[in-house]
Amino acid sequence: MLPTAMHYSHTLLKEIVQPGHIVVDATMGNGFDTELLATLVGPKGHVFAFDIQEQALAATRQRLAEKELLSHVSLIHRGHEHVADYVDGPIQAAIFNLGYLPRGDKGIITLPQTTKQALEALLPRLAPKGRIIIVCYYGHQGGAAELAAIQQFCASLPQESYNVMSYQFINQRNQPPILYCIERKKTALTFN
Ligand code: SAH
C-alpha cells in the first residue's frame, strides 16, 4: 500500500540518518519523530527538538525516558525560528509537522512566517545529501496560507543545489497532509 505522508516522512529519514548524525525535530508535538530520530542517531549523535508548548515537551520527555533516549536529545522550549541559536554545525536532517498539536489547543498552530524563518536558518546548515522534510497539515484555519507559503518556498529553491519533491494523495477527503522533502545535492556549489 502507498504509505501515508507521515509514514513516508519516516522512510525518508531512515534512508539517510545514521548513528552520530546531528538532526532537528522542528515541531516536537507528541514526540514520535523525536523518538525515531533519537533511535537513528544513537548515543553518539544528537537531536535538537523544538516546541513552544510545555505540553509537547512533557509528552516527548516521557516518551524518550521510557525508551532511555533522553541522553542525546535537547528538548528546547522555544520556537523553531530560533534554531540558529542552538545549532551551528552541519545537520543531516530536519523534520516539521505543521498545524496544531493533536489533542491539544487547536488555536496554537505553526505560522507561515516563523516556519519560513526556520527553513531559511536550516538550509545553509544542511549537509550534502541531507534532507528537510515538511509534513504540512492544512485543514485548519490558517492552514491554507501556510501551505501556500511552503509550496512557494520549496518551489523557488534552485535546482542546482536542491532536489525538492512533494507527495500527496489527490483523491482523498478531509485534506490529508502534504509532504515536502528538500534534499541538498551532493554537488551543490554554493553553501546555500
Ligand atoms: N498536525 C500534526 C501535528 C502538528 S504538531 C498532526 O496532526 O500530527 C505541531 C507542533 O508545533 C505543536 O506541538 C505546536 O506547539 C508546535 N509549534 C507551533 N509553533 C511552533 C514554533 N514556532 N516552533 C516550534 N514548535 C511550534
CATH number at residue 109: 3.40.50.150
Could you tell me if 22 and 38 are in contact, meaning their C-beta atoms sit under 8 angstroms apart?
no
Ligand 1 centroid–CA 104 distance in Å is 10
Q: Which helix (H) or strand (E) holds 25?
A: strand 22-25
Atom 23 in ligand 1: residue holding the nearest Cα: 79
Ligand 1 centroid–CA 99 distance in Å is 6
Instruction: Give the cell for residue 34.
Output: 523525536
Q: Classify residue 90 by its DSSP letter.
A: -
> Tens digit of pLDDT for each residue in 114-133?
999 999 999 999 999 999 99
Closest ligand 1 atom to 109 CA: 18
C-alpha 60/C-alpha 82 separation (Å) is: 20
61 belongs to a structural domain: yes
> Tens digit of pLDDT for each residue in 126-175?
999 999 999 999 999 999 999 999 999 999 999 999 999 999 999 999 99
191 belongs to a structural domain: no
If you average pLDDT over every residue of the chain, what do you get?
96
Q: How many domains does the chain have?
A: 1
Identify the domain containing residue 133 by its residue range: 5-184
pLDDT value at residue 192: 45
List, chain by chain if needed, residues with CB within 6 Å of any ligand 1 atom: 27, 29, 50-53, 56, 79-81, 97, 99-102, 108, 110, 114, 137
